[in-house]
A and B are shown apart, each in its own frame.
Chain A
Amino acid sequence: MIPAPFDYVRAESTEEAIALVGQHGDESKFIAGGHSLLPLMKLRLAQPSVLIDIGRVTDLSYVRDAGDHVAIGALTRHMDVETSEVLREHAPLLAHATSHVGDPQVRHRGTIGGSIAHADPASDLPAVALALGATYVAQGPNGTREIAAADFATSYLESALADDELLTEIRVPKMNGAGWGFEKFNRRAQDWAIVGVAAWRRNGDAGVALVNMGSTPVLATGVVSALADGASVADAAQLAADGTDPQPDLNASIEYRQHLARALTKRALDIASS
C-alpha cells in the first residue's frame, strides 16, 4: 500500500513550518515521525495534497525541567520521553505510559507532539496528559498560545489547533511524589488500548483519565470527586464509566468497555494509593 500522491516540502525551523502551512493552506499536513499519519494516508483515510515534513526541526526535541513543570518539545520521540531521567523523576506516569506506546520500532520514530496532535481517543498519551493537567503550546502566524489538555480534543481526531498552528511544546506539571498507576487492556502487546486508565493520587488530590471511552480522551471527574469526598477506591472506581460514550467494535461492546473502565480504574488507583 502506498499513499496517494502528494507534494513534499521540508521545514528546517518552526517559523518555516508555519510559513509553509500558511502558503499551502488546509490541504497540507505536518508530518513528524509519521506513525499516526502515514497509516491513515496508506488507507486513504487522509489525503493531504502537501506534506510539510517537520521531522528535522531539531530545536523542538527536548525535555527540560522548567520549575513547576517539565517542558517537552513536541518533536521529542517516544523513546526519548520514555528514557528521560527528568521525566522519570518528575512525571513518571508519562514516562511509563510512553513505554507502552506501540513497540520499540514505533517509539524510535513517533513523537509525543504527533501523538497528541493526532487527537486519537484510543492513544495513550492524550489521556495521560489530560490526567496530569498538561498544557499544550501552539505556535501560529500571530505567535504562541496555550491550550489546556482538557480543551484540546474537540471530537474524534479533531483538536483545537487551527490549520495554521503547530503544536510546539507539552508542559506537564511535576507530580511531586504522587502515586500513580497506568492500566492498558489490549489483546495483543502492541495494540491500541481497548480501554486504558491513567491515574495519580497525592494527599487529597487525584487525577484520572480514560483511553478509548469516547470520541475524545475523558476525565473521570466523578471518580475524582468521590475520592475527594472520602470514598474508597473501590466505590469511587464504580463511577468511572459515568458520563462516557464508548463505541462498540470487534474487540468490545459498550457494556464491556464500561466494565473495563471501572475495573481498570480500581486497579490503577489501587497502585497509585499503595
Chain B
Amino acid sequence: MNVTLTINGTAHTYDLEPRTLLVQLIREHAGLTGTNIGCDTSSCGACSVHLDGEAVKSCTLLAVQADGADVTTIEGMASADGTMHPVQQAFMDEHGLQCGFCTPGMVMAASSLLAENPSPTDEDVRIGLEGNLCRCTGYHNIVKAVLTASGADQ
C-alpha cells in the first residue's frame, strides 16, 4: 500500500508491504542509513527518529503508521550549509561519543528531550535518555553534552 510522508523536509511516497517497519523505510527505501538498527526490540534507542517532532523508536513502528507524518532523521539535523545542530555540536565538543553507533539515536532522543524540557538537570537528562543505550562512554560525556546543548539555541 502507498505510504506518503515527509522525511527531513522532502515528501516521499512508497508502495510498501504493510509489515514494513519505519526504520526499513528510512534505511532501505529512502537510503538514509544514519538511523541505526541496534537491538530491533525497542530497547536500545539506536533507531530513534522524530515523528511529528517527538522521538520514537522506528524499529517498533510500521511505516503505514507514519503515513502522513513528518519524520526527521539524523541527516536532517544539520543546517543546509553544514552547520551542526546544537546537540550534535555539543556531542562533538564534550566528546559524547566513542564508536558512534548509538549517537544518531542519542542526538534524536536528546533533542526531543530538550524540546520538552529546555533546562534539564543532570538527573532529568539521565532519566530522559533511559531509552538509549551506549556501550562505550559510560554516559558521562553524553549527559555533559546534553547539558551543554541546553544552554544553546534550540
- Per-residue CB contact flags for chain B residues 27-49 toward chain A (1 = under 8 Å, else 0) read 00000000000001111010010
Q: A229 to B42: give the CA distance in the assembly, Å.
A: 45
B64:A53 contact, CB within 8 angstroms: yes
Whole-angstrom distance between the Cβ of A231 and the nearest chain B Cβ: 35
B64:A190 contact, CB within 8 angstroms: no
Q: Is B130 an interface position by the 8 A CB rule?
A: yes
Q: Which of A99-107, A124-132, A156-164 contacts B (4 or more CB under 8 A)?
A: A99-107
Q: Which of A5-13, A135-143, A170-178, A218-226 contacts B (4 or more CB under 8 A)?
A: A5-13
- Per-residue CB contact flags for chain B residues 49-78 toward chain A (1 = under 8 Å, else 0) read 001001111001110110000000000000
Please report the number of residue pairs spanning A and B whose Cβ atoms sit closer than 8 angstroms.
Answer: 83
- Per-residue CB contact flags for chain B residues 97-122 toward chain A (1 = under 8 Å, else 0) read 00000000000010011001000000
**Closest residue of chain B to A7, judged by CB?**
B18
A34:B41 contact, CB within 8 angstroms: no
A104:B42 contact, CB within 8 angstroms: no
**Closest residue of chain A to B18, judged by CB?**
A8
Q: Is A35 an interface position by the 8 A CB rule?
A: yes
Whole-angstrom distance between the Cβ of A47 and the nearest chain B Cβ: 11
Q: A131 to B41: give the CA distance in the assembly, Å.
A: 30
A109:B131 contact, CB within 8 angstroms: no
Q: A1 to B42: give the CA distance in the assembly, Å.
A: 12
Residues of A within 8 A of B (CB): 1-8, 10, 31, 34-35, 38-39, 42, 51, 53, 55, 79, 102-106, 108-109, 189-190
Residues of B within 8 A of A (CB): 1, 17-21, 24, 40-43, 45, 48, 51, 54-57, 60-62, 64-65, 109, 112-113, 116, 127-128, 130-132
